[in-house]
C-alpha cells in the first residue's frame, strides 16, 4: 500500500506530519519526508504508535460497571444498550437538576478538530457545563494578550534564522524535539543557544549558556535584563519609539532591579544576568521560547509577561514563541456549534476537583483526557467521583485511571482509525489525517458516538452535521489553498496574522498595559512571592510519555524524585532510598535519585507519575488558580520529604 498522510495529533509543539503504510499487514508510522520541519525522525512516542494502537491496553468494547468504585470490574455490553443507558441517565439528570449539573470534561489527548471539538456540538446544544481549558497554557495566553493583543508569536520557521535562541522555562530537547533540532541547526550556522531553568534540564545542559534562577523568580530576572539593556544604552530606541507605549513606566520599574537585587532574589550571579542581557543586545535577530513550564506556577503568567517584553526592547516584532493557536483564522466555533448554541456554565478546569467534591455535577462525560491523574486536587476529585449520585461516562482509546471511576466505558478509535484535521499550535501547516486501518474491536470515533447520542436525545439536525461540511466551514477562510486541495491530500499552509500587528488598545506593544489595568491587574509585571516552607516540587515532561499516555508501551512513569546531595544528606536519604513527599493535600512515595541536576531546596519528578504507594503526584498539587488566566500552580507546589518506612 502506498503511504497515506497522517498527522500526529498528540498535544505536542511539533505536530509531526506522517507517512503511514501497511506493509504486508504491518502498520508502519514514519515521518513524512515532504514536510521539512518534522522530516528525519520521530520522537520515542511517535515511533511506537503502531504498538500503542495494537497494545493490550486498548478499550475495544463498550462496558458497564459491575462492581464498586473505584475499581476495574466491568461487564461487556452491546453498543446499543450502552448508549441507551447513557442517554437515559443524561435525560434524568437534565430533568431533575438541569444542564448545569451535566459536565463534559475533555482536553487534548488528540488535538483533531473532529475528536476534540466536534462532540461539543451536542453538549452546547444541551447547554451543559464545560471547563475553561485552563490546565495547560491559558494563563500564558492571557499574559501575552495584555501586552501584545492576541497572544501569538513566531513559528519555528520564522525563528529558525535567529542568531540567539533562548529557551526560557522550556525543556525543548524533551518537549519539542523537532524545534530543538532546528535550534541545533542554527547553532551549526553559528547561533547561540541559551537556557533559563532552575534545573540543569536536558536543554540547559546542552545549551551554550544557562542560568538557573530559583523557581518562580523569572520576573526579577527579566527586570534585571531589561534594566541592564536600558541603563547600558543597549536597547533599540528607534523600535521602542515606533512600536511600543509605556517605555517610561517600564524603565522606572526596571530601574529598581539592580544586578545585586536581582541576584539576591534569583540566585543567579550578577555577571550572568548581565551576560544574558548582552547576548540579547549582541545577537539579533533573537527568539525567546517561553515554555509552558515556566508558566505553571503561582508567578507563571507574570513571568510570561515580563519575559515577553525583553524582545521588544531589542527591536524584535513578537520576538517570542509561545503558542500560535490564536494566530490562525480557523473558525473553531463552526466545529463546536457555538453559534447555534453558546456553551452553558463555564467552570475552572484547574479547580474542578472542588466542585466535583461538592457534588455539583451529577453526570460527567469524559473524553480525550485522563483527569484522574492529570488534574490537581486528586484527593478531592477522587472523593467527589466516589459519590453515589454522580454518573461518569468515559470515551477513550485506552484503559486509564478515569475508568476506575466510570459507570460506562466506551471504546474510542485512535487517530489511525479515523479521518481528522489537526491544527498545530507551533508551525502553520495542515494536512488531512487519513484513516489507515479499520477501527479495532468495536471502537468508534467521537463523531459517531456524538451522533448516536444526539439521535437518542432528539437533537436538531445541525448537531450532527456532516463532519466534512463542518471542516469545510471551519477551514474555508483559514487555508492558503482550497479545502478541496486539502481533501485531495495536499499539505497546506495556514493563513497567519502578521507579526508586526498588535491588537492592543493603542495598536502597539503595550509595555505598560492598559488592558491589565482595566482588568484589575498591575499594568506592569509583578514579582510575586516565591519563598516558602519545605521544598518546591518541579515536574515536567519526559521523553517516553505524552502525559499519561504510552505507559502501555513503556511501563509506568518512573516514580522517582531528584534530590540535591545537600538536601539528601540533611534528610538522611541515600540514592535509591524511598522517600515520602507530603503536604497538607496528600502524600506520595517515590524513590530518591540523589543528583546535582536540581539545586538545594528544589525537587523534581516526572510529571503525572503514580507513587509506589499508588498515590498520584497530583494529590500533592492544590486546586489553587493563577490570578491571570486561572492557570495551574504545579511548579510552585510546596512539599516536605522524609524517608519512607512502609509501603
Ligand atoms: N503534576 C502535573 N500535572 C499536570 C501537568 C504538570 O505539568 N504536572 N501538566 C498539565 C498539562 S500541561 C496538560 S496538557 C494535562 C494533560 O492532561 P490529559 O489531557 O488528561 O493527558 P493525557 O494523559 O494525555 O490524557 C489524554 C487521554 O486521551 C486519550 N486519547 C488519546 N487519543 C484519543 C482519541 O483519539 N480519542 C479519545 N476519546 N481519547 C483519546 C488517552 O488515551 C488518554 O487517556 O496534564 C496536566 N497535568
Ligand atoms: N515528551 C513530551 N513532550 C511534550 C509533552 C509530553 O507529555 N511529553 N506534553 C506537551 C505539553 S501538553 C506541554 S504543556 C509541553 C510542556 O513542555 P515545556 O513547555 O518544556 O514545559 P515543562 O516540561 O512543563 O517544563 C519545562 C521546564 O520548565 C522548568 N521550570 C519549572 N518551573 C520554572 C520556573 O519557575 N522558572 C523557569 N525558568 N523554569 C521553570 C522545568 O524545570 C522544566 O525543565 O510539552 C509538550 N511536549
Ligand atoms: S508526539 Fe510530538 S514529536 Fe512525537 S511524533 Fe507526535 S508530534 Fe512528533
Ligand atoms: Mo500541556
- CATH of residue 14's domain is 2.20.25
158 lines ligand 3 (CB under 6 A): no
Is 508 within a domain?
no
396 lines ligand 1 (CB under 6 A): yes
Q: Whose CA is nearest to atom 35 of ligand 1?
A: 414
> Separation of 107 CA from ligand 4 center, angstroms?
9
178 CA closest ligand 3 atom index = 3
557 lines ligand 2 (CB under 6 A): no
Q: Are residues 75 and 188 in the same domain?
A: no
Is 107 within a domain?
yes
Is 327 within a domain?
no
395 lines ligand 1 (CB under 6 A): yes
- CATH of residue 568's domain is 2.40.40.20
pLDDT on residue 250:
98
Closest CA to 148 of 306, 318, 328: 318
Q: Are residues 485 and 553 in the same domain?
A: no
Residue among 43, 110, 424, 550 to mutate when testing ligand 3 (max atoms within 8 A of CB): 43
Among residues 441, 465, 494, which one ends one of the domains?
Answer: 494
- Give the orientation angle of helix 300-313 with respect to helix 270-282, to 10 degrees: 50
> Separation of 630 CA from ligand 4 center, angstroms?
14
Phi then psi for residue 373, to 5 deg, are: -125, -30
Q: Are residues 276 and 317 in the same domain?
A: yes
Q: Are 515 and 504 in contact (CB under 8 A)?
A: yes
Instruction: Measure the CA–CA gap between 515 and 520, rounded to whole angstroms.
Output: 9
Provide the residue range defining the domain that includes 602. Answer: 535-643
297 lines ligand 2 (CB under 6 A): yes
Q: Are residues 22 and 67 in the same domain?
A: no
215 lines ligand 2 (CB under 6 A): yes
pLDDT on residue 24:
84
Which neighbouring-strand residues pair with 33?
none
546 lines ligand 2 (CB under 6 A): yes
Handedness of CA 504, 509, 512, 516 (dihedral sign): positive
Closest CA to 636 of 273, 262, 301, 150: 301
- Give the ligand with the smallest distance to the CA of 620: 1
Q: Are residues 214 and 317 in the same domain?
A: yes
pLDDT on residue 23:
84
Q: Are residues 157 and 225 in the same domain?
A: yes
Instruction: Measure the CA–CA gap between 241 and 217, rounded to whole angstroms.
Output: 29
Q: Are residues 431 and 369 in the same domain?
A: yes
115 lines ligand 1 (CB under 6 A): yes
pLDDT on residue 270:
98
Residue among 47, 181, 202, 293 to mutate when testing ligand 2 (max atoms within 8 A of CB): 293
> Separation of 3 CA from ligand 3 center, angstroms?
18
Q: Are residues 100 and 198 in the same domain?
A: no
Instruction: Measure the CA–CA gap between 359 and 100, rounded to whole angstroms.
Output: 12
Q: Which residue has the cell 516565591?
A: 530
pTM assigned to the model: 0.98
371 lines ligand 3 (CB under 6 A): no
pLDDT on residue 25:
83
Is 301 within a domain?
yes
Is 526 within a domain?
no
pLDDT on residue 646:
60
Q: Are residues 33 and 167 in the same domain?
A: no
Domains in the chain, number = 4
**Grid coordinates given for 241:** 519609539
- CATH of residue 240's domain is 3.40.228.10
Q: Are residues 542 and 636 in the same domain?
A: yes
Length of the chain, in residues: 647
pLDDT on residue 647:
56
511 lines ligand 3 (CB under 6 A): no
Is 499 within a domain?
no
14 lines ligand 3 (CB under 6 A): yes
Is 212 within a domain?
yes
- Give the orientation angle of helix 259-266 with respect to helix 218-231, to 10 degrees: 160
Alpha carbon separation from 142 to 275, 303, 462, 519 (Å, rounded): 30, 12, 32, 11
Is 284 within a domain?
yes
pLDDT along the chain (647 residues), means of 10: 90 97 91 96 97 97 97 98 98 98 98 98 98 98 98 97 98 98 98 98 98 98 98 98 98 98 98 98 98 98 98 98 97 97 95 98 98 98 97 98 98 98 98 96 98 98 98 98 96 98 98 98 98 97 98 98 98 98 98 98 98 98 98 98 83
Q: Are residues 229 and 277 in the same domain?
A: yes
Among residues 267, 288, 322, which one ends one of the domains?
Answer: 322
Which neighbouring-strand residues pair with 394?
366, 409
**Grid coordinates given for 163:** 542568531
> Separation of 52 CA from ligand 3 center, angstroms?
14
Q: Are residues 244 and 264 in the same domain?
A: yes
Count the neighbouring beta carbons within 10 Å of the beta carbon of residue 646.
Answer: 7
Amino acid at each position: 500500500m502506498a503511504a497515506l498522510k497522517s498527522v500526529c495529533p498528540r498535544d505536542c509543539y511539533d505536530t509531526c506530519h506522517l507517512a503511514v503504510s501497511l506493509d504486508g499487514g504491518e502498520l508502519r508510522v514514519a515521518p513524512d519526508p515532504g514536510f521539512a520541519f518534522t522530516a528525519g525522525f520521530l520522537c520515542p512516542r511517535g515511533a511506537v504508535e503502531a504498538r500503542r494502537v495494537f497494545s493490550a491496553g486498548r478499550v475495544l468494547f463498550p462496558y458497564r460497571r459491575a462492581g464498586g468504585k473505584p475499581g476495574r470490574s466491568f461487564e461487556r455490553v452491546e453498543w446499543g444498550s450502552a448508549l441507551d443507558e447513557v442517554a437515559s441517565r443524561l435525560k434524568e439528570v437534565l430533568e431533575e437538576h438541569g444542564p448545569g449539573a451535566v459536565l463534559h470534561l475533555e482536553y487534548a489527548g488528540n488535538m483533531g478538530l473532529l475528536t476534540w471539538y466536534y462532540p461539543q456540538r451536542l453538549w452546547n446544544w444541551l447547554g451543559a457545563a464545560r471547563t475553561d481549558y485552563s490546565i495547560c497554557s491559558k494563563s500564558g495566553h492571557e499574559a501575552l494578550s495584555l501586552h501584545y493583543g492576541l497572544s501569538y508569536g513566531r513559528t519555528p520557521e520564522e525563528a529558525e534564522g535567529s542568531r540567539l535562541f533562548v529557551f526560557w522555562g522550556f525543556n525543548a530537547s524533551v518537549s519539542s524535539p523537532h524545534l530543538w533540532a532546528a535550534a541545533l541547526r542554527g547553532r551549526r550556522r553559528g547561533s547561540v543557544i541559551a537556557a533559563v531553568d532552575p534545573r540543569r534540564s536536558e536543554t540547559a545542559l546542552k545549551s551554550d549558556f544557562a542560568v538557573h534562577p530559583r523557581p518562580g523568580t523569572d520576573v526579577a530576572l527579566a527586570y534585571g535584563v531589561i534594566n541592564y539593556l536600558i541603563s547600558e544604552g543597549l536597547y533599540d530606541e528607534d523600535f521602542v519609539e515606533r512600536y511600543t507605549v509605556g517605555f517610561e513606566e517600564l524603565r522606572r520599574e526596571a530601574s529598581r532591579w539592580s544586578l545585586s537585587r536581582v541576584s539576591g532574589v534569583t540566585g543567579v550571579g550578577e555577571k550572568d544576568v548581565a551576560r544574558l542581557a548582552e547576548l540579547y543586545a549582541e545577537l539579533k535577530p533573537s527568539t525567546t521560547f517561553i515554555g509552558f513550564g515556566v508558566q505553571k506556577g503561582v508567578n507563571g503568567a507574570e513571568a510570561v509577561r515580563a519575559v515577553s517584553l525583553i524582545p521588544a526592547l531589542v527591536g524584535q516584532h513578537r520576538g517570542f514563541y509561545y503558542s500560535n493557536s490564536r494566530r490562525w483564522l480557523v473558525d473553531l466555533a463552526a466545529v463546536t456549534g457555538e453559534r447555534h448554541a453558546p456553551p452553558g456554565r463555564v467552570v475552572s478546569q484547574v479547580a474542578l476537583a472542588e466542585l466535583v467534591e461538592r457534588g455539583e455535577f451529577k453526570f460527567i462525560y469524559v473524553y480525550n483526557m485522563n483527569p484522574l491523574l492529570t488534574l490537581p486536587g486528586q484527593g478531592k476529585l477522587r472523593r467527589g467521583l466516589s459519590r453515589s449520585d454522580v454518573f461518569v461516562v468515559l470515551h477513550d482509546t485506552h484503559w486509564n485511571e478515569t475508568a476506575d471511576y466510570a459507570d460506562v466505558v466506551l471504546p474510542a478509535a485512535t487517530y489511525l482509525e479515523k479521518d481528522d484535521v489537526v491544527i498545530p499550535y507551533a508551525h502553520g501547516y495542515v494536512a488531512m489525517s487519513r484513516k489507515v486501518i479499520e477501527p479495532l474491536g468495536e471502537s468508534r470515533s467521537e463523531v459517531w458516538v456524538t451522533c448516536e447520542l444526539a439521535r437518542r436525545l432528539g437533537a436538531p439536525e445541525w448537531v450532527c452535521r456532516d463532519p466534512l461540511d463542518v471542516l469545510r466551514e471551519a477551514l474555508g477562510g483559514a487555508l492558503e489553498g482550497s479545502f478541496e486541495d486539502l481533501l485531495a491530500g495536499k499539505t497546506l499552509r495556514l493563513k497567519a496574522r502578521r507579526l508586526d500587528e498588535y491588537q492592543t488598545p493603542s495598536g502597539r506593544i503595550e509595555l505598560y498595559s492598559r488592558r491589565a489595568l482595566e482588568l484589575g491587574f498591575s499594568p506592569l509585571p509583578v514579582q510575586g512571592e516565591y519563598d516558602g516552607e519545605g521544598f518546591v516540587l518541579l515536574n515536567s515532561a519526559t521523553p517516553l510519555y505524552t502525559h499519561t499516555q504510552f505507559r502501555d508501551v513503556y511501563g509506568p512513569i518512573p516514580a522517582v524524585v531528584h534530590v540535591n546531595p545537600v538536601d539528601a544528606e540533611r534528610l538522611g536519604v541515600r540514592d535509591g532510598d524511598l522517600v515520602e513527599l507530603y503536604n497538607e493535600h496528600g502524600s506520595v512515595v517515590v524513590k530518591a535519585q540523589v543528583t546535582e541536576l536540581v539545586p538545594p531546596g528544589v525537587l523534581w519528578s516526572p510529571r503525572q507519575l503514580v507513587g509506589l504507594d499508588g498515590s498520584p503526584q497530583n494529590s500533592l498539587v492544590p486546586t489553587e488558580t493563577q490570578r491571570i488566566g486561572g492557570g495551574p500552580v504545579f511548579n510552585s507546589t510546596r512539599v516536605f520529604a522524609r524517608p519512607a518506612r512502609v509501603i
